[in-house]
Structure 1
């Protein structure tokens, strides 16, 4: 007896071997079709199902006898899927002969909605006549879950961003209120005097470390101060608040400039001497209006000297040498100074953000000499005019101005010119 695949002489029977392989391939192709990881079906041109694989039947929970020749492809779809099939999928297939990756929902076993991706192609005859439609159905449940998770993640991120923006707006509003509490809302009107101010913060949170104020001591005298806290932002703002309220309280108790600055030094040193020292510079003074002038009595604690613009067009610094930083040492000495303001004179107080601004291609310091030259070049038109001119100068520094800057100008208005009598 010979074995299958051999002839009587013991040589391989080629025809028999080919027949075996062909049979195996046919069985494998049919098994692959039936048990494929995706659904397969073929429909007539009207959608009637002519052939369907076991995989898709398992998803549907139906038998072949219930489907083949009895149902159309659209009958497998949910209500929404049918609507999309009729309005989009079928017209696209008719026009182009194929449709790929269309997301639909089928009615799966147990009346469950099952998301799928459908790809269909029309088979045509040699004459180009459409014969049937071959369709592949992919399980999109994992993909739909993944997309839903992505959507939830995106929505969560968007919500977090909206919350962060809302928190940022609330913080900015709170910081704006805090900043307003650190500066006077408006300078008071003083009979016989004029005042002007300007404030620029370099901190991104709009909280600066510079401060100033002008307020009455009694019916005849007014107090003023301008200072600069070391640092920027909320920490500097906390010291600014403490310094401002301390100066006002000390001035009402004993307005002498040296005494007021000494009190501020004591408060800051006691509060910040352990672990995290903090300090500031400041000028504090008293204005005493007279019959034809205003007396100025001031003291400086480590602060740049005040600049006087005189009515004759000159500009000079009011020396306050030896003034020490406020809050560093327990015992300090401050330098007092006196001057008088006559009609047309202006006293300018400023913080070092102005003189330490960087200018030009080489980013040199602007400096006190340049400030004096600039001031002398301005017409002696009063405090507000000088502040306006300096505001324009500061704007021109651009990113060269990297520190907080405050200006406070006080002066006596020049008398109005007497009109010439008509002849």
Structure 2
């Protein structure tokens, strides 16, 4: 067994404890810090009360916060006397009963009333101290200064309110802008029943769907329905340009292929840079058939979903416009066409792809797309139907999808009513 050589000790050696002089002073101060001094000058308020609430002990920190002398409180005041009027009511109806039942209440936000009448927000925790026999002896309470927290919460509420007001302002702006991109009311076409509906997927953003129905020379009528790529202000600008270009082009030359050709030239010229913009559009030229009744309609489509024809006998089918290309992408886009004679009792339905691309039973996995086949089956069950009846049914269908409709949807229906004599046959 090795012995201890001269000068060796079993403990730390004198000044070789690894501490600087300042650190030794600090450790010495900590050793001299008494429990009583720690209680009196703790960074939180302490007080002890009798079971009836009379203050029996209070630390210097709390006295300094409130501006009271110790003799002002000890044996003279109750804890509830230090609270504001609202705080006293809460103390009597909630705080004190909970404390009696549970033996402890933690983190309750209250306000103290200082000697000068000012208010001090605090977080209060109280616990009942019991004796060896389990009987309650006194109540110990700890109070934390919550002024910084209250200021933070106030600022947070102010910022949240400001954000909500800004969002509401933008929502109103988006709604107003959206309305300017749609006709205030559809024109009244003699011999034709028309109806339209616009489903907004998000009130915070302006969508790019649009439609219109307007008179042309010679008793003809033009109608169109389209969908601009994207959302927001940029899409709104394209939508506005598309609507007015289509109307102006139809007045100049109502041929549907020429109308969409003009729109394609304008969009391709205006948006062929780093941020290209395009849309899908279907344009129809309606002319009344004064001999056989009903209307002739020629449809031209630039990449748009096909229209649905609901015949008076209940037959329903898509009207394909093969080969139609997106409007605005190519300098010379191909336009698909189709023509049909709308007889009394027939209805033509135009729609944007927000309907067929809606999620059915949307969940975490996104759900299945509604699809073209489902829409065809749905419309077949409606036929024959009026324009308003068809649009109302589509509107109810969209409502069943709920949040599954993540893109704006526009629908436009035209219906040739039966004459009273035909209805009696």
Do the structures match in fold with TM over 0.5?
A: yes
Structure 1 stretches of 5 or more lacking a match? 1-30, 42-51, 122-133
- Distance of aligned partners of 1:76 and 1:35 in 2 relative to their CA distance in 1, 3 Å threshold: farther
Corresponding residue for residue 277 of structure 2: 278
Shift of 1:177: 0.5
**CA deviation after TM superposition for structure 1 residue 290, in Å:** 2.9
Structure with larger Rg: 1
Shift of residue 406, structure 1, vs aligned partner: 1.6
Q: Which residue of 2 aligns with 1:402?
A: 406
**2:415 pairs with 1:411:** yes
Mapped partners of 2:392, 2:69: distance in 1: 90
Inter-CA distance 61–238: structure 2 relative to 1 (3 Å threshold): closer
Give the aligned partner of residue 383 of structure 1. 387
Query: 1:35/1:220 Cα in 2 relative to 1: closer, same or farther (>3 Å)?
Result: closer
CA contact (8 A) 2:322 2:337 kept: no
Shift of 1:224: 0.5
- Provide, for residues 37-67 of structure 1, a one-character-per-residue CA deviation record: whole Å limited to 9, x for no partner: 72899xxxxxxxxxx9999999999999xx8
- Change over 3 Å in CA distance of 1:334–1:35 after alignment to 2: closer
Deviates further, 250-259 or 367-376: 367-376
Query: 1:247·1:260 contact (CA, 8 Å) conserved in 2?
Result: yes
Distance in 1 (alpha carbons) for counterparts of 2:62 and 2:405: 72
In the alignment, is the contact (CA less than 8 A) between 1:76 and 1:107 conserved in 2? Answer: no
Q: CA deviation at 1:179?
A: 1.1
The 1-side partners of 2:311 and 2:263 are apart by: 31
SS of the residue corresponding to residue 349 of structure 1 reads: strand
Asked if the contact 2:307–2:348 (Cα under 8 Å) also holds between the matched residues in 1, the reply is yes
> What is the alpha-carbon distance in structure 1 between the residues aligned to residue 209 and residue 357 of structure 2?
14
Aligned pairs for 1:174-253 within 5 A: 174-203=173-202, 205-218=204-217, 220-253=219-252
RMSD: 5.3
Distance 2:259 2:357 in 1: 27
Distance 1:33 1:106, change over 3 A: farther
Query: Does structure 1 retain, via aligned residues, the 8 Å contact 2:114–2:120?
Result: yes
Structure 1 residues 155 and 258: CA distance shift in structure 2, 3 A: same
Q: Deviations over 1:248-301 (max 9, x none)?
A: 222233322122211211221122211112211101122122321212123111
> C-alpha distance in 2, partners of 1:262/1:155?
59
The whole-number CA distance in structure 1 between the counterparts of 2:209 and 2:61 is 77
Name the SS of the counterpart of 1:332 in structure 2.
coil
Provide closer, same or farther for how the CA distance between residues 56 and 225 of structure 1 changes in structure 2, counting only shifts above 3 A: closer
2:262 aligned with 1:258, yes or no?
no
User: 2:84·2:113 contact (CA, 8 Å) conserved in 1?
Assistant: no
Give the CA deviation at 1:410.
1.0
Shift of 1:413: 0.6
Q: Is the 8 A contact 1:358 1:400 kept in 2?
A: yes
Q: CA offsets, 1:284-329, max 9 Å, x none?
A: 1221223212121231111122221111221233232111110111
- Given that 2:311 and 2:383 are in contact with CA atoms closer than 8 Å, whether structure 1 keeps it comes out as no
Aligned partners of 1:36 and 1:55 also within 8 Å:
no
Tell whether the 8 Å contact from 1:223 to 1:284 is kept in structure 2 after alignment. Answer: yes
The count of residues paired between Structure 1 and Structure 2 equals 363
Aligned to 2:4: none
TM-score normalised by L of structure 1: 0.67
1:97-116 alignment runs, 5 A limit: none
Which stretch of the first structure deviates more once superposed, 198-207 or 357-366? 357-366
2:62 and 2:407 map into 1 onto residues whose CA distance is: 72
Distance 1:165 1:103, change over 3 A: closer
Q: Report the CA distance between 1:174 and its aligned residue.
A: 0.8
* CA distance in structure 2 between the aligned counterparts of 1:213 and 1:383, rounded to whole angstroms: 15
Q: CA deviation at 1:399?
A: 4.6
> Is this contact kept in 1: 2:191–2:417, CA < 8 A?
yes
The one-character-per-residue Cα deviations of 1:141-161 (angstroms, maximum 9, x if unpaired) are: xx54xx222111111111111
Distance 1:355 1:192 in 2: 30
Q: Is this contact kept in 2: 1:357–1:366, CA < 8 A? A: yes
2:376 counterpart (356, 368, 372): 372
Counterparts of 1:31-42 in structure 2 under 5 Å? Answer: 38=40
1:197-247 CA deviation, whole Å, 9 max, x = no partner? 122233352532211111122461211100112233444333222222221
CA distance in 1: counterparts of 2:288 and 2:411, whole angstroms: 22
**Rounded Cα–Cα distance in structure 2 between residues aligned with 1:266 and 1:377:** 40
Q: 2 CA distance for matches of 1:61 and 1:187?
A: 74
Q: d(CA) in 1 for partners of 2:384 and 2:390?
A: 8
Q: Is the 8 A contact 1:193 1:411 kept in 2?
A: yes
Q: Is the CA contact 1:195–1:384 (under 8 Å) kept in the aligned structure 2?
A: yes
When residues 150 and 225 of structure 1 are mapped into structure 2, their CA distance, relative to the original with a 3 A threshold, is same
Contact kept in structure 1, 2:314 and 2:383, CA below 8 Å: yes
Aligned to 1:166: 165
Gaps of 5+ in 2: 1-32, 48-57, 129-137
